[in-house]
Chains A and B, each alone.
Chain A
Amino acid sequence: MTDRLNRFLAFWRHFPGAKVINLALVIAGLLTAWALISGSIDNPDRYLPSPLAVAASSVDMLYKGLLPSYFGDTISRLLLGSLIGLGLGIPFGLLLGLNRTVSDIFFPIMNFFQSVSGIAIFPIVVIWWGNSDKTVLAVILYTSFFPVAFNVLSGVREVPLRYIHAAYTLGASKFQVIRDVLAPGALPHIATGSRLSIGFAWRAVIAGEMLAGREGLGWMIFTGQDADMTSQVILGMLMIGLTWIVLDHYLLRPLEADTIERWGLVQR
């Protein structure tokens, strides 16, 4: 009997669709466990609504058009904030990295700012601009600018000096060195820094919406808790989690891996 089971498991391991089916089984199991727990506690609507209740609330919110509008708000904030952050951070890091002395001057302060979390400076920004969209955008900009700028700066610093010297020896101009040596050499770090930045920005969007009370997914779960609509809270959390999985696993990680594979320096 165990022999047959082992043979089946060995077959299953190499079956092409096995991974998807495994995942589906795990998800089905988790949903069943969730439904069972929610059925066995008192007052499930408050503490843990059943999957069906969450689905019903999603239908309700779709029908009212709230869910797409919140989702759109959050995504557009993330895009705007991280695009400006990356657009400023990458050139800034590159420029600082060009000169050893300049990069030595700015390295510690960039390190300092990239490790101060954006959420911690949130109260300061609120005092400056109140609970407005400007506040949320400023926090997102702060969180996405520093990680990428710091990563690009350290990427440029790590390009081996001999490559730069080699290019100069062969008669390259300063601009050519930047374009052909430093920028490609720093590309893996640019990719890693961008993914890190967007990840931090995503957290900052959710936190900013909660704290500043601007409409979006973060606001949706925050007000859901206030209004005692736990199914709306769980729906919002599912949306947040799924959006990030799709963004990270299907867009950012492959992009980063491809960049590192194509441009990564294997030093010998």
Chain B
Amino acid sequence: MNALTKFSLLVQGRFGRKRLRRIGLGSIPFIFLLTLWQMNTTFEWLAPVFIPSIGGVIDAIFILQSDCGGVWDILSLDNTCLMTTHILSSIGRVLLAAVIGIPLGIIFGILAGMNRLISTVLEPVGVFANSISGIAWVPLAIVWFGVGWMTTLFIMLNTVFWLMFFNAMLGTRGIAKVYEQSVLTLGGSRWNIFIQVYLPGAMPSIITGMRMSLGFGWRALIAAEMIGGDSGLGFMIFTAAEEFNVEQVFLGVIVISIIYLATDHYLLGPLEKWTIHRWGLTWKPT
């Protein structure tokens, strides 16, 4: 047994054979695409105006950050640190919309699930608001709020709130009446039911809605920033495209996808699994 075999066995034992095989096979197309991209630069098939070189895309980070003074400049969204300013302002908008939209959506959704009158009024409004896809609100939002922070936040909130509303409502409706009645029998108040039956009962559906609304919200945000924004990743790639600055466009698209994939894969996906494991009702009374 030589050192190489030993090492390979160690790695296999550490990460698992199946997982290693999956990762190895899955990386083939990515490596192939990167090679093709590099070959395009080397053999000059398509002009760099259409497909930039890999080095150029990496250089674009340093060009955008060239005059950056340090951590304080990054955090204060200074115009000298363009790259981080755009990233942070996009993420900030998502967070703000999540902090406002998610709790409101949950509260209204559970109320609509509990009360027929509220759901009769709010459901048609929600169906209609959901069918006007996020970006179609942009022109009206520009008329109301002007170009900038408020418009993009409005678009995000619109997407996040209604998706959360529907998921919380459907989750609440799916809870068996027995749970509510047993809490009432034991002397619980309406408030007790809300906190101890509806909220935990609807939790798996709410978390699924959170994952969905952040995914749709992120797409809507990028589109909204392109037309109605004055900062953010969508704004960055759109203005770069107008100046035919392909390196920055490619960089922006890659950053957008990495942020989305990382959030979905490492934060929302595990959260959803954990919630279904912890709160999901497997037992249903018949």
Contact A30/B125 with A106-B29, A210-B227 known, Cβ cut-off 8 Å: yes
Q: Known contacts being A109-B29, A119-B223, is A104 close to B144, with CB within 8 Å?
A: no
Choose, from B18-26, B103-111, B167-175, B270-278, the stretch at the interface. B18-26
Name the interface size band of chain B.
35 or more
Interface 9-residue window, one of B67-75, B92-100, B178-186, B238-246: B238-246
Are B256 and A109 in touch, CB under 8 angstroms? no
Cα-based distance from A5 to B124 in the complex (angstroms): 24
Q: Is A211 an interface residue (CB 8 A)?
A: yes
Contacts A115-B257, A221-B139, A240-B136; A101 near B222 (Cβ below 8 A): no
B131 within 8 A of A: yes
Cβ 8 A contact of A237, one of B116, B136, B250 = B136
Indicate if the CB atoms of A240 and B133 lie closer than 8 Å.
yes
Residue of A at shortest CB range from B261?
A: A115
Q: Flag if A120 contacts B253 (CB, 8 Å).
A: yes
CB of B37 within 8 A of chain A?
no
CA A202 – CA B136 in complex, angstroms?
11
Complex Cα gap A259–B162 (Å): 27
Interface size on A, residues (CB 8 A): 52
Q: Contact at A206–B133, with CB atoms within 8 Å?
A: yes
State whether the Cβ of B260 lies closer than 8 Å to any Cβ in chain A: yes
User: Are A46 and B143 also in contact (CB < 8 A) when A23-B124, A105-B25, A207-B223 are?
Assistant: yes
Selecting from A122-130, A154-162, A184-192, the interface stretch reads A122-130
Q: Is the interface of A mostly helix, strand, loop or mixed?
A: helix
The dominant DSSP class at the B interface is helix
Judged by a CB distance under 8 angstroms, whether B134 is at the interface is: yes
Comparing A64-72, A173-181, A241-249, the segment that makes contact with chain B is: A241-249
Asked if A193 is at the interface of the complex by the 8 Å CB criterion, the answer is no
Report Cα–Cα, A221/B134, bound state, in Å: 13
Query: A206 to B136, Cβ gap below 8 A?
Result: yes
B25 touches A101 (CB 8 A): yes
Contact with B along A27-55 (1 / 0, CB 8 A): 10110000000000000001100000000
What residues of chain B lie closer than 8 Å to A224, measured between beta carbons? 139
Residues of A within 8 A of B257 (CB): 112, 115-116, 120
Interface residues of A (CB under 8 A from B): 13, 22-23, 26-27, 29-30, 46-47, 101, 104-109, 112, 115-117, 119-124, 126-128, 202-203, 206-207, 210-211, 218, 221-222, 224-225, 230, 233-234, 236-237, 240-242, 244-245, 248-249
Instruction: List B residues at the A interface (Cβ < 8 Å).
Output: 21-22, 25-30, 33, 49-50, 116, 120-121, 124-125, 127-129, 131-140, 142-144, 215, 218-219, 222-223, 226-227, 234, 237-238, 240-241, 244, 246, 249-250, 252-253, 256-257, 260-261, 264
Question: Lowest 6 CB-CB distances: which A-B pairs, in order?
Answer: A123-B241, A225-B139, A108-B26, A244-B131, A117-B219, A109-B29
